[in-house]
Amino acid sequence: MQAVARRPRTNHLDLAQRILDVARQRGFAAGAHLPEQQIASLCNVSRTPVRAALRLLTEKGVVRWEAESGYRLAVDLTKQATLATDLPSAEEDELAEMILRDRSARRLDQTVTIGALMRRYGAERKTVLKALKKLTDENLLDRAPGQSWLFRRAPDDPEAQGESYEFRLMLEPAAILAPGFRLDGTRAAVLRQGMEALLALPDAAFDIREFQRLDIDFHGMIADGSSNRFVTDALSDHLRLRRLPGTYAGVNVFRLKQSLREHLTILDQLESRQYEVAADLVRVHLRMSRSQRPQAASRGAPALFGMISRPD
C-alpha cells in the first residue's frame, strides 16, 4: 500500500502557485515589487491569504522580504520556472499526481472506485473525493455510474499518439486561420523567454518537465487565441491529456530542442501576423513531432523553418 505524504491543505498553497503564474505571465523581473494589495487584486482574493502565500514563497527563496519596501521577487521566473514545482502540494494534489502516475504505468485499470483508491493509497475518503474532483475538472476522468470514475483515453500508446496528432493537425492550424485570431502578446513574450532559456542549457541539464510545461502552454496559447470557442474548448481539453506522466517518454533531447526552435519560428510569424505561414509551420511541426525521430531533420522540414526570419 502506498501512503500519501501528509501535506498542508490550506488555500495559500494554491495561491502561492497563482502568484508565480501571474508574475510569470506579466513578465515580472527579479527584484520586482510585490505589493500585497496589487497581488490580492490580480488574484481576486483578500490580503490575508496573500500574506500567507508570500511567506511560503519567501521560505522557498522565490520571494524576499525587505523591511523598507515589503516583498520582492527574488528570482528570474523565466529562467527558473521549475521552482514552482518545489512548492509543497495540497494532499489531494499529491494523490491526484500519484493516481495519474499509476494509471500511466498501467498499475490502475481504466475504471477506479473510491474504496479501491482509499485502500491503495491509505487515504481518507474526503481526500480521494477531492483528488477525483480535481482530475474530473481537468477532463482527465469522467464520472461513471455508482462510485466509479473512468479515465479518459490518453495519447500513451503509438496508435493513440497518432490519432492525437491527426486531431491536432486538423484543429491547430484552423485555430490560427479562423477570423479574429488574437495572440496574447504578454504570454507570448514570457513563453519566448522561457523557451530561449531552456534552449541555452546544455543537453545534460535539459529539463524535460520544463519542456512539457512550455510545450503545453505554447499550444494552449494557440488554442486560446482562436475566436471560435468550440475549437478553443476542444483543443484545450485535449492538451490537458498531454500533461500525463510519460507523454514525452522516449523523445530525445535533440528532438525536444529542435521542437523549441520550431516553436520560436512559429511565434515569430504569429507576432508578425503572418497567420497563413504560421499555420503551415504548425503543420510541419506537428508532423515532425509525430515521427519523434531526429532523422526527420534530414527530410527538408527544418530548412522551411530556417528560411523564415523575423521581419525587422
Please list the rounded mean pLDDT of every run of 10 residues in the chain (312 residues): 46 77 81 88 81 86 87 78 52 83 84 92 89 83 85 72 88 94 90 92 88 90 92 87 65 89 97 96 92 46 50 48
How many C-beta atoms lie closer than 10 Å to residue 120's C-beta?
17
Q: What CATH number has the domain bearing residue 25?
A: 1.10.10.10
Among 47, 73, 99, where does a domain finish? 73
pLDDT value, residue 27: 79
For residues 286 and 162, membership in a common domain is answered with yes
Amino acid residing at 129: L
Identify residue 201 by its one-letter amino acid code: L
* Domain assignment present for 93: yes
115 plus 224 within the same structural domain = no
Residue 310 lies in a domain: no
Give residue 208's pLDDT: 85
From the number of C-beta atoms within 10 Å of its C-beta (0-12, 13-18, 19+), residue 158 rates as exposed
Which phi-psi region, left, alpha or beta, contains residue 246 (left: φ > 0; alpha: ψ -120 to 50)? Answer: left
Cβ pair 155, 161 in contact under 8 A: yes
Residues 173 and 269 both lie in one domain: yes
Contact indicator for 42, 22 with CB cutoff of 8 Å: yes
Residue 4 pLDDT? 45
Q: Is residue 267 part of a domain?
A: yes
Partner residues linked to 151 by β-bridges: 141
300 occurs within a structural domain: no
Tell me whether residue 119 is in a domain: yes
Report residue 288 CA to chain centroid gap.
21
Say whether both 171 and 255 belong to one domain: yes
How far apart, in whole angstroms, are the C-alpha atoms of residue 203 and residue 161? 25
pTM above 0.75, yes or no: no
d(CA 92, CA 15): 15
Residue numbers of the domain that contains 175 = 158-291
Q: How many domains does the chain have?
A: 3
Whether 146 and 162 map to the same domain: the answer is no
pLDDT at 96: 86
